[in-house]
Amino acid sequence: MLGLDQLNKGERPLRMVAWSVGAGLLLLLAGLWQVQVLSGDKYRQRQEVQSFRTVRVPALRGRILDRNRLPLADNEPRCRLDVYLDELVPQFAVEEKRIRRELLATRGALDQTEPSFWQRLGAHFSGRVRKPSIPVAERDLIKRQARYSVVSNIIAQVNSRLGVQVTRTEADLFQHWRQKRALPFPILDHLTTAQIAFLTEQGWSIPGVELEQVPVRSYPNGKLAAHIVGFVKRNDDFDEEDRAFDYRLRDFTGAIGLENRFDRQLRGTSGAKSILINSSGYRHRQGEIILAEPKPGDTLVTTLDLALQRATEDSLSQVPGDERAAVVVLDPRNGDILALSSAPAFDPNLWIDGVSHEEYERLSDPKMKPMFNRATYGYYAPGSTFKIFNALACLEAGVLTPETVHDKLVSPGYFQLGDRTIKDTAGSGEFDFRRAFIKSSNTYFIHYGLKLGLPRMLAMGRRLHFGEKPGLHLAEEEKGLFPDYSEVAGYWNQGNLANVSIGQEITVTPVQMALAVGAVANGGTLYWPRLVQSVEPSDSLSEAAPERIRPGQVRSELGLKPEYYDIVREAMRDDVASNEGSGRAARVTDFAVCGKTGTAEVKQGRRLTDKITWFASFAPFESPRYVVIVMVESGGSGGGTCAPVARRIYEHLRDRERGTGSLGMR
């Protein structure tokens, strides 16, 4: 009241002060009105824009199916445990304070306490500013230690309750906190059914920990067809699309096989969501908005037959000793790959959670090479299986004729070329074409190969597309070593021609051999191999049309007379049917198998280091529907090692046709 009385008394200076204060208050109120009311929406929108972060959400990967639509690669729901760091902020603060107090106590500083806010404020105005007892850089380390201490305690509780041994390093947590603070920190990637049941029944009371369900790539058949299907690996590389996102959820990319070759179609289209974060970088649990739903990847339907693939690999597993081999089963009527195996194999599921050091060492074995696809990427000297094509070249050139194939050639049991003696396991005696073929006489085929000449011998191989990639839908393809005559003219001589005549000094892949034998079986047509039937939208309601790969696409025609194929096919039939034949171990009752064995020597200098054994075949003789190629490294012989593998596969095919009908053409 005294102030009002003084104002009424007319004390002018005091009135001026009062009016100034009043005007200031009015100005302040006007400013608050401007900010809170008139411009409130603008600032609110700006705050929201600054507080949201975009997250790339990967799409569900497309399935890979066999020709009967059975899964070769699929997706399965997997439960994991995540820690939401934002819920642990109060615990971080408590732990940080505890660590600071302990540190001060060990240093004996400030009576083991730090100044309060009011103490620091009073000291500032009194001019007695107390220096911080802990440097700023050290405070950051304390905060980091506090976070890890809290999270480690939570992980210990998880380990105790679930009976697991989960470990996360301090570096893991710090990297996540620095780069992905708004996302949950994963602590257990794969919960078992029993663990999920325990959590569901007993409830969960550890703060900040939640059960999340995520789709994960799976290979339900394990090692079966692993080299063809391939596997996926973690993809942490950013592309142009990803630069628009602040974060990306865990994603995978195809590493080898069909997973790699069709990665773009299988990956689908990623989606996006936004998450609201606070000023400390933690996300608000209720602030998530889906911006775009991810679109699942396409479905890949292959030409493989899962049951035949399993029978093929089971047959191959019975090879004695170190199993290093390959098998190709092909339909000679259209080039479809029905089964393709490489041994040893690997389990593609290993890469989902990461390969251990011990497992990686096993997969890197320089001799066994489990990751190496021997069927498409390995190239080997074909040995005596090349005599099939030597014979066709000689018949086409007139060196052999339908009449002269009955002429007898006397062999001393070896072939003498200058001062070089080439051994002949067929032994000595008289050989016409049929007997030379089924006994695999080197002398006979070198004799006629030298008459044929190098240009025509190599030309036949090139017409069969040896020395060219087969054209499968795989990155893991090799073309082998089969020169054009122009590449070797002038420095290859009769000795080289003798070697080529019996399948040495040249190399082919098992897939190339299958396609070439398929041309003999079908009468001269070389098809492009087909491994994928169609690429289809995963969404059954999609209007997009499936992309179908037409079967039976012709690559070339040999153009030989039909009787030439008949002569060779009959000799291949007799190689299995005759008790004198080298391929008799492939004989199947009521299923006429036609084949040719082969054994190629691998040398370093003049020292023999290994043998490559083959059995190249088709069946049945009357109406060829299957080509089976078996190749085994370090085998005993083509007839003793490879032919029994082919027999077991043909028995499966015969029994299957009797029960359910032929695989047929699709």
Domains 53-301 and 306-345+373-536+548-660 share a fold: no
Q: Confirm if 259 and 232 have CB atoms less than 8 A apart.
A: yes
pLDDT at residue 215, as a whole number: 83
DSSP H or E segment with residue 512: helix 510-522
* Cα(422)–Cα(497) distance, integer angstroms: 13
> Phi first, then psi: what are they for 252, rounded to 5°?
-130, 160
Question: Where along the chain do its domains lie?
Answer: 2-38, 53-301, 306-345+373-536+548-660
- Which pLDDT tens digit goes with each residue over 318-331? 998 778 999 999 99
Query: Is the per-residue pLDDT at 48 higher than 60?
Result: no
Residue 468 buriedness (CB in 10 A; 0-12 / 13-18 / 19+): middle
The pLDDT, as a whole number, for residue 569 is 98
Per-residue CA distances from 112 to 117, 135, 583 (Å): 16, 16, 91
pLDDT, tens digit, 9 for 90 and up, residues 117-127: 566 666 655 65
Kindly state the average pLDDT of the residues 467-471. 94
Q: Which residue has the higher pLDDT, 190 or 371?
A: 371
pLDDT tens for residues 546-571? 899 999 999 999 999 999 999 999 99
User: Taking the alpha carbons of 96, 101, 102, 107 in that order, is the dihedral positive or negative?
Assistant: positive
pLDDT at 280 over 60: no
Among the four given CATH numbers 2.30.30.60, 3.40.1440.10, 3.90.1310.10, 3.20.20.70, the one describing domain 53-301: 3.90.1310.10
Confidence at residue 665, expressed as pLDDT on a 0 to 100 scale = 43
Compute the mean pLDDT over every residue in the chain, rounded to the nearest whole number.
Answer: 85
Confidence of residue 164 (pLDDT cuts 50, 70, 90): confident
**249: pLDDT strictly greater than 90:** no
pLDDT in tens, 332-386: 999 999 999 999 999 999 988 778 888 888 889 989 999 999 999 999 999 999 9
What's residue 202's pLDDT?
A: 64
State the Cα–Cα distance between residues 650 and 644, nearest whole angstrom.
10
Evaluate if residue 2 carries a pLDDT over 60: no
For the domain covering 306-345+373-536+548-660, report its CATH number: 3.40.710.10
